[in-house]
Each structure stands twice: as structure tokens, then as C-alpha cells.
Chains A and B, each alone.
Chain A
């Protein structure tokens, strides 16, 4: 049965159901329980810094494991445990902290299978928070999903809705490869229809969020909703946008994107990340290479500028791609 719950609760439910189903699923991270070793509440004091894992330590006290602020050691411990038969879900609080622990993701988890000749299985899910809108400034707002996407051996999942968050997280935990699961902090409160029962969404299957014939908009994560606002506004002027949410960017569903562009002849890519070496560039290049003849106009990319995320709300609102900017990009090529 389906009911409306938040993106945050959908993630919590996915974790809970997988922990119930499979005793090898453990959750590690800073404050995932909270209160360990404290004088006050002994467990579940926080349930994650934004409460995403709230309540789980009461249900699975031995498998929700608080860590010291030592991302390299605990992310690497999750990778090592995965290579030894566990199915860990490790939380890197903010993707920005990748800077202190990238080796364990990039050189260890991602490489084991290939460099050990196909013998290693490393089923680790690395959950992490990304994105702007919280006035959290340059070191807590970045959109770095393109970084793990560049690394062969990693899978990268970027859910935009509560439904996708639950189904893709369950798939991530069951998947036998290392997965980076990207959660937009501004989506946690968003509500949507989510089935109570367990389900999976396969990787590499894009979602056509909105059908249209005039222009294809590929949007990632939170930008799916911003693109939706732009499309609604453009629809009033009689312009039909087709919005594609790739849902996973490694692997990525090129077929759905290419087919859409072949239909519409126009492409706008909306990516909250910085523009250089980005998913916007990646998707644009692929379409330019494989669907060039279908294009009736230049491809447009709507991205953050090539600056760190600013602090001031006056600046951050200009930094994050807006519906108005997407609308302008569409109008420029129609």
C-alpha cells in the first residue's frame, strides 16, 4: 500500500527494511545513532545529523554504529567489511568531506574487482548529502556527483523523489558493486507516494518525468523539480518540454536520452554542479556525438557558475540554477 512520506523517511524505511531482511547490513557513520558514550541519552540521540537514520539504533542496536570523525578509517572499514562478507551502508555526512577520504573510495573500493582479476565483491553503499540551498557555504554545499562518476568501478545514484530514493537505496544495498548514493539535503522534507512494501528500481533506467515534443531537458537530482517549474511555465506559452531524470548517472540510460533528443531535436541539460568536467558536459558531449543529425539548435547547459558555493543567500540564489534560467535557455533554442 502506498502513502505519502518524506524523502528522508523513504531512505529510513529502505534502511530499516533491508536491515530486517539481511543481517549482514550494517550502518556506519558519524552520529548515525548519536549519543554513543555520552552522559545523557545512550542511543538514537540524533539518528544522523538531519535525522535520516532516526529510530534505527533502537531496532538494530548492534548494527547502527557511531564512528569517530575519521572519515578515511570508517569509510575504509566499510569497504574492508564489504570485501569480507558484510553489506555495509556507510554515511559520509557531506559529499564535501570526500576530500579527506577519497582514497578509500577511489583507489580501494572502486579498484578491487578489476585489479584483483574479477575475484573481489565489494557491496558497500556510500550514502552522502550534497547540494545547495541551505546557506551552508563552500564546504557543505557542493554537488560532486560527477567526481565518483568519473571513476570506473563505482556506481552513482541521484534520486529526485521519495519513491526513487527508497527503491534505489534498496537496489544499492543489494547491488554487489560499490555504490555512491547521493541525497540532496533540500529534498529531505519533500513528500511523495511511496509503497510500504519493499521494492527496487533497476540502475540505468531513466524516468521520463514529463513528456513533450519541443525540447528535451535532462535534469539531475533536485534540478528535476526546478526543471518541472520551468516546464510548467513554458507550457502556458504552448512550449512542450520533455523532462528526463536519469536517476543513476553511473550507469546512465543513454538510450532514453538519445531517443528523446531524436524526437525533440533540442537539448537543455540542467546540472546543479560546477560546469567544467561535469555531468552537463558529459551528457552534452554524448548527444553531440551520437545524435548530432537530430539537433535543430545548439545544446544548452544550465549549471552553477565556475565558483565555489557562496554563503550569502543573495549570492547562493544566483549560484543555483533557477527555473527562470532554465526557461531562458529553452527559449533561446526554440
Chain B
């Protein structure tokens, strides 16, 4: 925690709170039937996106997953635009043409949430290759789950990143479930990070519910990548508080599993306890952020609901740059 100043801690907490409240609110709104399509919530995993993206700037690229809202928020994508996008509105980040699984903001270095599991690995390698040509120390991060850890694209990309010495961080978000299938069934090694040895790169496993553990490990990996030291596989073990998608009854989880995780492994609670214990921030300051974020999410939903739909003219545009 030594290098984190008060404003850093407040910023990290705000980001994590934004992600949590965004997702909790989506869970409620989805149940009313007003939100179209497939929605995959990131609640429970906030410390991962936040701990990593705190080290990144707009020139650094992130390739995300179908569970991408947290990565978008942590990378600085506008929350009002995100909410409108999830509602399918013209004012959304992508004009209502992408939806929850495809939110992107290239100006912020967010290469997009992605509906194809594992597809971000090659894209991040390309972003890192571009950064290497630019020569300004840019890095790329690919977030992927324990499910995607078994996709050929991820394994091929780890190989490619190592032989080309690319500034990529392979960020495995191990929440224990590939949709409904447990990681113990899908992954033969104790840790996903163990696979790093096969590609001759550092592999690290940390508690993904602890912002400070993620922040420290990601900081080392990103620093190494910026300095030309090549890729790292960083595994963050975490939990998702909701189903694979909204509407998933989670019949595969043990009775009380999520309840226990919320009590013992809640990344916001862990953060608040450690941050206040450090004496750098007070509980009152965190509560003030809670109120501001609650108001922001209220505003996002109100504006998204009120926003216009895209029109028939929008159907045919944006397929090509030139026709």
C-alpha cells in the first residue's frame, strides 16, 4: 500500500463502487424485463479490473470479455453511455448496435467487450505489437476467464506474445465457473498461472478479491512489459455473485456459496477495511463516494430509459468506412 496515496485509494474505491452498483442495479432492472438481450454481471470481481486498470492510461489497450462492464468502467468508459447502450438506445456508447457484450471505447483504449470466449487474446497481441512499433512503452491487457483459459486462441496468444516478446498481460479472472462447469473439471493444474511455465513466462496467482494484491502483482507485470520484459500470466482468483447470465438460477453452486462469498470475500468490504486501517482514508469519505455513485447510477438509468431508440436509418450505417 506504500505507493498508494489518498487520492489513489479514493479513486480505486469509487471505481469498485461504480462497478458494483452498476451491476447490482442491472440485476434489478433486468428482472423487470426492460433490458434486452444477454447480460453477464461482473459483481464480485471488481478488485481485478480496478487493480489492473489503475496502472493503465488511455494509450494502453484492454481486450475484454462477455463479462465486460467492470473492465469498461475501470478503463474510463462513460457510465451514462454504457447504461444507454445496455438499454439499446441511440445515445449508447455504440449507438445501440453493440449492447452489453460489445461495449467499446477506442479513445479510452477499450478494444471491446467480446461475445466470443477467448477472442481477446489475439487482439491484445496485435495491440501490443502496435504499441511495440510505436515505442512509447504502451501495453495491452487481455482479460479472460477460467473457461477461456482452455481456448486455443488464448494458448496460441501466450505463445505468440512470448516469441515476439510483446508487452501483454494475460489476466486470468478465475471465478471458478466456465458458465456452469467448475474449474476443477476444466483445468488440470492447481492454478491457471501454472501454464505460464509452458511458455517460459512469469506466472503469478493472487487473491483477486483483494485490490491491493491485484494492484501490486499487476503493477509488477505491467512495469516489466513497459520496460521490454515481455508478457506475464497473472491469475486472479475471485468470485462472481450472480449467474453466468441474468436469469441463471445458479443450480450448480452449493447452497449458501454466494452468501458466504459475499460475507467473507467481498472485494469492497476487504478494500474498505484495509484502506481505513491504513489511516489514509476515513469511513466517512467512502460513504460520501457511495452516495455520489448511487446518484450517478440513478441518473444513468433515468437517462437510458428516457433516451430515444435508434431509427431505421441507423440499421444500414457503420458497416464500412467507405462503400
B119-148 interface bits toward A, Cβ cutoff 8 Å, 1 = contact, 0 = none: 101111111011101100000100000000
Which residues of chain A are within 8 angstroms of B321 by Cβ–Cβ distance? 113, 121, 175-177
Chain A residue nearest in CB terms to B123 = A80
Residue of A nearest to B129 (CB): A81
**Nearest CB of B to A87, in Å:** 10
B322 near A81: Cβ-Cβ < 8 Å: no
Tell me if B95 is interfacial: C-beta within 8 Å of chain A.
yes
Q: Cβ of B44 < 8 Å from any Cβ of A?
A: no
Closest Cβ of chain A to B136, distance in Å, is 12
CB atoms of A67 and B160 under 8 A apart: yes
Instruction: Tell me, rounded to whole Å, the shortest Cβ–Cβ distance linking A100 to chain B.
Output: 8
CB-defined contacts of A41 to chain B, threshold 8 Å? none
Find chain A residues with CB under 8 A from B320 CB: 113, 153, 155, 177
Asked whether A115 lies within 8 Å of B130 as measured between CB atoms, the reply is no
Task: Enumerate B149-203 residues with CB–CB distance to A below 8 Å.
Answer: 152-153, 156-157, 159-160, 163-164
Q: Are the CB atoms of B323 and A73 closer together than 8 Å?
A: no
Q: Is the CB of B160 within 8 A of A73?
A: yes
Q: Is the CB of B134 within 8 A of A76?
A: no
0/1 interface trace, chain A 168-211, chain B, CB 8 Å (1 if under): 00000001110000000000000000000000000000000000
Contact B98 A120 (CB under 8 A): no
A86-B129 in contact given A72-B156, A117-B95, A120-B106 (Cβ < 8 Å): yes
Cβ A83 vs Cβ B106 within 8 A: yes
Complex interface: chain B residues within 8 A of A76 (CB): 119, 121-123, 125-126, 153, 157
Interface size on B, residues (CB 8 A): 48
| Interface mask (B235-279 → A, CB under 8 Å = 1, otherwise 0) | 000000000000000000000000000000000000000000000
User: Could you tell me if B98 and A117 are in contact, using CB atoms closer than 8 angstroms?
Assistant: yes
Enumerate chain B residues within 8 angstroms of A175, measured Cβ to Cβ.
321-322
Q: Which of B68-76, B109-117, B212-220 lines the interface with chain A?
A: B109-117
Interface of B, secondary structure class, is mixed
Give the Cβ gap from A279 to chain B, nearest Cβ, in Å: 19
CB <8 Å contact, A83 and B152: no
Our pick among A79, A107, A111, A176 for the contact of B322 (Cβ within 8 Å) is: A176
Q: How far is the CB of A129 from chain B (nearest CB, A)?
A: 21
Instruction: Say how far A150's CB is from chain B's closest CB, in angstroms.
Output: 13
Answer yes or no: B225 CB below 8 A from chain A CBs. no
Interface set, chain A 1-53, CB cutoff 8 A to B:
24, 26
Q: Is the CB of B123 within 8 A of A108?
A: yes
Q: Does residue B313 face the partner (Cβ distance < 8 Å to A)?
A: no
B122: chain A residues at CB < 8 Å are 72-77, 79-80, 104, 108
Cα A232 to Cα B102 with chains together (Å)? 53
A104 to B157, CA, bound (A): 13
Set of chain A residues within 8 Å of B323, measured between Cβ atoms: 251
Interface assignment of A58: CB less than 8 Å from any CB of chain B: no
In the complex, which of the residues B96, B112, B123 has the most CB atoms of chain A within 10 Å of its own CB atom?
Answer: B123
A88 to B159: give the CA distance in the assembly, Å: 20
A38, B225: Cα distance in complex, Å: 27
User: Bound complex: CA of A276 vs CA of B94, how far in Å?
Assistant: 36
A-facing residues in B296-323 (Cβ within 8 Å): 317-323
Q: Which residues from chain A contact B157 at a C-beta distance below 8 Å?
A: 73, 76-77
CA distance A67 to B317 in the complex (A): 35
* Complex interface: chain A residues within 8 A of B133 (CB): 24, 26, 86
User: Which residue, A77, A83, A177, has most C-beta atoms of chain B within 10 A?
Assistant: A77
**Assembly CA distance A78 to B164 (angstroms):** 13
Q: A99 in the interface, Cβ–Cβ < 8 Å?
A: no
**How distant is the Cα of A296 from the Cα of B68 in the complex, in angstroms?**
57
> Is B93 an interface residue, CB under 8 A from the partner?
yes
B160 in contact with A74 (CB, 8 Å)? yes
Contact partner, B119, options A82, A85, A104, A119, Cβ 8 Å: A104
- Cβ contacts B80-95/A at 8 Å (1 or 0 each): 0000000000001111
Q: Are A84 and B131 in contact, with the CB atoms below 8 A?
A: yes
CB of B12 closer than 8 Å to a CB of A: no
CB-CB contacts below 8 Å: A94-122 with B:
103-104, 107-108, 111-121
Q: Which A-B residue pairs are the 3 nearest by beta carbons?
A: A76-B122, A80-B126, A117-B94
The interface of chain A, by Cβ under 8 A from chain B, is 24, 26, 65, 67-68, 70, 72-86, 88, 103-104, 107-108, 111-121, 152-153, 155, 175-177, 251
Q: List 27 A-B contacts (CB under 8 A).
A: A24-B133, A26-B129, A72-B122, A72-B153, A73-B160, A79-B122, A80-B124, A81-B126, A81-B130, A84-B127, A85-B130, A86-B129, A88-B126, A104-B119, A107-B116, A108-B119, A111-B102, A113-B319, A114-B319, A115-B94, A115-B102, A117-B93, A117-B98, A118-B318, A153-B320, A176-B322, A177-B322
